[in-house]
Amino acid sequence: MHIRKQRLLTPGPTPLYPPALHAMMASDIHHRTEDFRNAYRSCLADLKEVMGTSHDVLMFAASGTGAMDATVSNLFSRGDKVIVCSAGKFGERWVEIAKAYGLEANVLSAPYGEVVTPERVEAALAAEPATKGVFVQASETSTGAAHHVEAMARAVAKTNAIFAVDAITGLGTMPLDIDGWGLDVTIGGSQKAFMIPPGLAFMAISPKAWKLADSATLPHYYFNLKKEKKSGDAGESSWTPATALILALAEALRYVKQVGMPKLIENAQLLAEATRAAVTALELQLFAPASPGSSVTAVRAPAGMDSSVIVKEFRNRFGAIIANGQGSMKGQIFRIAHLGYFDFADLFAVIAGLEIILNANGHPVQYGTGVAAAQQVYARAAVKPQTVTA
């Protein structure tokens, strides 16, 4: 067979930063030693720095859903009134978690591909002053749409409710002024813009959220924010940490700091812009044209074509794993990711491959049309190479 390099081009797990991957080889380390405490402390400090917050940051050995669970089980009580913005699969996950813990949730839904407006949140808060929390996705990974986090945050900040933001694919792809706007819980995951494999969840927690924790009564044990805060202050985790991933994270965060969070975000934004330009030039339709985020761009398959064919063709022809739609969107859309360790060379290859796949499957396009549109974005932005020393 011809050479086909395996390329992971999905919005999580994302492409891995090689030195971070290699750092896992040193994981014959014990978690109750000063060497490891240094790595753990450096991760917590660097996370604070790249997230741009003075809030406490905690880590858990879990996937991002674990931090979503921790938010509800640590900060709320059965019967608490909350508002959930649901505009896709991960919004539905907030709804499920709220339900599992017996919260009384006012669900503000938007169809897949659209978003919940800040005005709806403001109106819902006004209608129920007893609301204790508002849940949202900064970037809804299942559709590629991004919520207007700043405006929502400002609306929530005026009330007693806390604003809990699943920023799992938002961090590193959009500006999020956690302290300035008033994000009370900000959730991240290792396998996203942080460029390492899945298995770690992060949370930034505001003083307002900590205050809510004091009166919360839902039971929890593994996810215990207060205990984890105390452990973190001592450079440790409460339970045995995922040492290999912590070592990888320490290395990846070094790189993210070197690139700089604003540049990392700009990188995702430019790739997203170039992707939109490319698929538009190929006369494909964007799935979330009104509120496109920069973590991932969802594109509708051409009429009469199952998007699964595109996903399969990418794998078979190019060894590239791109994302299908999730849930009810499966077969309708495919998703091109931009978050983290992605560059223009990746994107040029994806668009060129897409052109070949469209042609091979009865949807003729002129070779190079999409690529040229992406190149224009590159040229206009005059993206400079990152000078990085290993």
- Asked whether position 30 contacts its own copies by CB under 8 A, the answer is yes
Q: Which residues contact 109 (CB under 8 A, 6 or more apart)?
A: 86, 87, 91, 116
CB closer to its own copies, 118 vs 241: 241
CB closer to its own copies, 190 vs 375: 190
One of 6, 345, 389, 390 touching its own copies (CB under 8 A) = 6
For the chain, strand residue ranges (E) read 7-8, 56-61, 81-86, 104-109, 133-137, 139-140, 145-146, 162-166, 185-189, 200-205, 296-300, 320-321, 323-324, 333-337
* Min dist. Cβ of residue 113 to its own copies (A): 21
Q: Binding string, 36-75, against its own copies, x = CB under 8 A? A: -------------------------xxxxxx-xx--xx--
Backbone angles phi, psi at 166, to 5 degrees: -75, 100
Quick one: which segment of 14-22, 205-213, 262-270, 362-370 binds its own copies (CB under 8 A)? 14-22
- Residues 183-222 contacting its own copies, CB under 8 A: 189, 191, 197-199, 218-222
- Asked whether position 332 contacts its own copies by CB under 8 A, the answer is no
- Asked whether position 340 contacts its own copies by CB under 8 A, the answer is no
Backbone angles phi, psi at 94, to 5 degrees: -55, -45
Q: Which residues contact 125 (CB under 8 A, 6 or more apart)?
A: 83, 131, 134, 155, 156, 158, 159, 161
Q: Binding string, 224-253, against its own copies, x = CB under 8 A? A: --------------xxxxxxxx--------
Alpha helices (H) along 4-88: 18-23, 34-51, 64-75
Binding site for its own copies (CB under 8 A): 6-8, 10, 12-13, 15-16, 21-22, 24-25, 27-31, 33, 61-66, 68-69, 72-73, 78, 96-97, 100-102, 189, 191, 197-199, 218-223, 238-245, 315, 321
